[in-house]
Amino acid sequence: MSTEPAGTPAIRPHAEQQFADELAELAGVDDRPRPPGWRLSPQAVVTYLLGDGGKITPKYVGPRRLMEVAVATLATDRALLLLGVPGTAKTWVSEHLAAAISGDSTLLVQGTAGTAEEAVRYGWNYARLLAEGPSSKAIVASPVMRAMETGAIARVEELTRMPSDVQDTLITILSEKTLPVPELASEVQAVKGFNVIATANDRDRGVNELSSALRRRFNTVVLPVPASADEEVDIVARRVAQLGRSLELPDVPPALDEIRRVVTVFRELRNGLTEDGRTKLKSPTGTLSTAEAISVVTNGWALAAHFGDGTLRPRDVAGGIVGAVIKDPGTDAVVWREYLETVVRERDGWTAFYRAARDA
């Protein structure tokens, strides 16, 4: 709940708070038809996500068509399933879509192995239930139920981590757009504007595959890892700058060279191939996502600002990179050493980084 006292702002404001200016700006000039319950027209939502090169900053850097498919899906009142490996901005996109469409990105169900049906449907306020018997007042509405009542976007994170029976409670909600409450012999019918954005990781251990009945209710958009090094450097640089501002790090701009180096290391290890395409590499067990690259650079920035000379140096990122790459001390350490000795050592201008990484 956004009831924090004034003066001590939240660590991480919601998208609709952080980008309130941009949303207002877009709403002001948006003259295209808006689907019922939408704050913006579909075209404006796409602009909000991808930026317009001016006042509206890009939230997602990647293929435009993906965002268009996502927005068009929500406009046809079909539910949207964002698939991808960890760190491909699934949650980020879902938050911004909800913020732009409904102005509220907080109607969130987090999927875990322990998520119960009440989290998707409704629970009971037992004190009230015992005192007054079943009534609509004794119901504790889930975020999904509240979204249905208010005509907003509900978000389900990590859908495939939920047990299958809990997943399937979404079927009625998505196909009939209603949530029956048999205890009260009533139902909650979704108001126009209601929809569901789910995110899922299809290549992880311990996931529960979606039943085909549920899968059929979703349009699927697969978010890829960034296609080119430049794109990824751009994403990392942009996010690091935003994070730095919100973390109130001393104002040293992170050197683009270091960011490029981090991204290069991540991409090469992730793809199992050097960027010049000449050398095959072993890949470590971790996913080495863009999100991890961002955290390595941010971490390095903090190190440089507080303990270094204020400039992001190879030694500031080396430790973070080693920590991100070596997830399994047995196999990953070998992979990393091989990479250091065969690729990093030979590369021009990477000597300082090589030494720092070897010592780290």
Partner 1 sequence: MPERFYGIRHHGPGSARAVVAALDEQRPDILLVEGPPEADTLVKWVADERLVPPVALLGYVADDPRQAAYWPFAVFSPEWQAIRWAADHGVPVRFFDLPYAYRLAVEDEPADRPERPADPIGELAAAAGYDDPERWWEDVVEHRGAPAFEAIGEAMAAIRAESAEDPADLVREAHMRGVLREVRKTHANPAVVCGAWHVPALTAKVTAAHDTALLKGRKKAKVTFTWVPWTYGRLASWQGYGAGVRSPGWYHHLFTTPDEVVTRWLVAAAGVLREEGVPTSSAHVIEAIRLAEALATLRGRPLAGLAELTEATRSVLCEGDELRVDLIGRQLVVSERLGSIPDDMPAVPLARDLAAQQRTLRLKPEALERALDLDLRRDLDLGRSRLLHRLRLLGVAWGEPADRAGGKGTFRESWRLRWVPEFAISLVEAGGYGTTVVTAATAKVAEQARAAESLAEVTPLVEACLLADLPDAYPAVLHALDTRAALDADVAHLMGAVPPLARTLRYGDVRGSDVAGLRTVTSGLVARICAGLPGAVTSLADEAAQPLRNHVDAVHAALAMLDDEPGAVAAQEPAQAERAPRSLRDRWLEALDGLAGSDRTHPLIAGRVTRLLYDGDRLDAAETRRRMGLVLTAGTPPSDAAQWVEGFLAGGGLLLVHDTALLSLVDEWLAGVAADSFTDVLPLLRRTFGTFAEPERRSIGERVRGGAVAASPAPIGLDHERAASVLPTLGILLGREIHHVSE
Show Cβ contacts of residue 106 under 8 Å, excluding neighbours closer than 6 positions.
2, 14, 143
To partner 1, the closest distance from the beta carbon of 95 in angstroms equals: 20
Angle between helical axes of 331-339 and 314-325 (0-180°, round to 10): 140
To partner 1, the closest distance from the beta carbon of 72 in angstroms equals: 4
To partner 1, the closest distance from the beta carbon of 101 in angstroms equals: 13
Closest CB to partner 1 among residues 31, 348: 31
Rule CB under 8 A: say whether 207 interacts with partner 1: no
Rule CB under 8 A: say whether 227 interacts with partner 1: no
Which of 198, 204, 203, 201 is CA-nearest to residue 217? 198
Residues in the chain: 360
String marking each residue 68-107 x if it binds partner 1 according to CB under 8 A: xx-xxx-xx-x--x-x------------------------
DSSP characters over 92-132: HHHHHHHHHHHS----EEE--TT--HHHHSEEE-HHHHHHH
Rule CB under 8 A: say whether 14 interacts with partner 1: no
To partner 1, the closest distance from the beta carbon of 74 in angstroms equals: 9
Rule CB under 8 A: say whether 203 interacts with partner 1: no
Rule CB under 8 A: say whether 234 interacts with partner 1: no
Choose the binding region for partner 1 from 11-19, 93-101, 220-228, 288-296 (rule: CB under 8 A).
220-228
Closest CB to partner 1 among residues 32, 137: 32
Distance, CA of 360 to CA of 324 (rounded, Å) = 12
Rule CB under 8 A: say whether 192 interacts with partner 1: no
Q: Which of 42, 87, 244, 300 binds partner 1 (CB under 8 A)?
A: 42
Q: Let me know: does 71 contact 42? Beta carbons within 8 Å.
A: yes
Distance, CA of 289 to CA of 243 (rounded, Å) = 17
Task: Give the number of residues in contact with partner 1, rule: CB under 8 A.
Answer: 23
Q: Let me know: does 194 contact 148? Beta carbons within 8 Å.
A: yes
Q: Let me know: does 198 contact 97? Beta carbons within 8 Å.
A: no
Choose the binding region for partner 1 from 153-161, 213-221, 263-271, 316-324 (rule: CB under 8 A).
213-221
To partner 1, the closest distance from the beta carbon of 28 in angstroms equals: 20
β-pairing, 79-83 with 108-110? unpaired
* Measured CA distances, 44 to 155, 238, 240, 347 (Å): 20, 22, 26, 45
Residue 16 corresponds to which tokens in the numbers above? Answer: 């609709």
Q: Let me know: does 264 contact 311? Beta carbons within 8 Å.
A: no
* Measured CA distances, 230 to 106, 226, 259, 318 (Å): 33, 9, 11, 21
To partner 1, the closest distance from the beta carbon of 272 in angstroms equals: 19
To partner 1, the closest distance from the beta carbon of 219 in angstroms equals: 4
Rule CB under 8 A: say whether 221 interacts with partner 1: yes
Rule CB under 8 A: say whether 222 interacts with partner 1: yes
Window 129-188: residues binding partner 1 (CB under 8 A): none
Distance, CA of 39 to CA of 179 (rounded, Å) = 24
Choose the binding region for partner 1 from 66-74, 141-149, 240-248, 320-328 (rule: CB under 8 A).
66-74
Closest CB to partner 1 among residues 42, 254: 42
Binding residues vs partner 1 (CB under 8 A): 42-43, 46, 64-65, 68-69, 71-73, 75-76, 78, 81, 83, 212, 215-216, 218-222
